[in-house]
Chain A
């Protein structure tokens, strides 16, 4: 039976990096329209968790699946990863950067999810850097590069957003705008996993707090649901 509701399920995740156990037995689930906010001290494994969800760090044990997603794709291939690195080529113009990612990234539209339909130019306008479209990306400021990298998420439909400290290098106004975009994504039936140190005011939040020397087993049911 294939349920129509999207649900990212992680069961007993154990991750080793560089011969060190980052965490073990971590379980959680995120449903369509929900954001999982991962918090915890520096070096506790927030980024490792996101990179694992992105399929970039191999699992030592445990399973990871996207219920209701396209069955022949890995969860990572149905996700956008917005990490610390911008993946912006300075020698290409802003628009060329975006056009490349639009044609290169395979779209994924499972049932119940609608989003990521913007054209590159619309996405740039949405993020307020439309006037830079023809400029080489080398001339963008750090915050503008960050926004260019963010606009990648709007042009290819993929239901899962993995965001590692999405607000870094953004000013207050763009931070609000980012929250707006994230809420729109949730309304469109997407789901978000984000690691952050700042308070994010999103509509439907589950939180996951990573602690040191914690067996790490946090069943999704006990995770607190914040009211918006």
Chain B
């Protein structure tokens, strides 16, 4: 990573650690979603084990959406974003680096918390590992797709809800392949690797489309 990208990456990580809460709030929200579901569906352990991967994925999706609205907004409010556009660095890469730092600060803690929350849902070790693996490769896609919504709503005061409405439809393919890969690990005849590799591909596609679309939206909003 070249010097400026490293400086940006370190700055964003440092900011999210110092301002604090971003990782913890996401994980607590994740915990809240996952603990509420068993109260809703009742104490049927087999049912919980069957829908467990889906619950964890939906929880992770919602927790990711929670922190996304600040991805560019804080930088826009104090004028940092203007200077970033004038910095002579490609805005697409700036977005990519910011997404990476954001994922490490908010997405990675969700992946780390997933095995613990899987215990609440009566998942066996194999599916626990499968869900964690799919979340690990899938949540970056959620952040990258979310960056498009975050940059489209950057100039809105309360853009959080609009952001969720914009991003959730785009995140559905990630959810489908994430859950089906995790399910495949439980139900033997279905191969795990096929949906898992498609999930990896979705993340890679999002790593290209997300920053390009997001940078275009940011340029448009600078007026």
Contact = CB atoms under 8 A, between A and B. Distances in A.
Nearest to B88: A106
Interface string B32-60: 00000000000000000000000000000
Contacts of B85: 55-56, 76
Contacts of B6: 103
B11 interface: yes
A197 interface: no
B15 A89 contact: yes
B15 A77 contact: no
A56 B82 contact: yes
Q: What is the predominant secondary structure among interface residues of chain B facing chain A?
A: helix
Contact of B222 (A18, A57, A89, A105): A57
B169 interface: no
Interface in A84-103: 84-89, 91-92, 96, 99-101, 103
A223 B94 CA distance: 40
Given A79-B86, A101-B83, A92 B7 contact: no
Contact of A103 (B4, B78, B86): B4
A17 interface: yes
Given A83-B82, A100-B11, A105 B3 contact: no
Interface string B92-109: 000000000000000000
Contacts of B15: 89, 91-92
Interface residues of B, number: 24
A185 B42 CA distance: 72
B193 interface: no
Contacts of A73: 88
Chain B CB within 10 Å, residue with most, of A51, A56, A73, A108: A56
B19 A81 contact: no
Interface of B: 3-4, 6-8, 11, 14-15, 18-19, 77-80, 82-89, 222-223
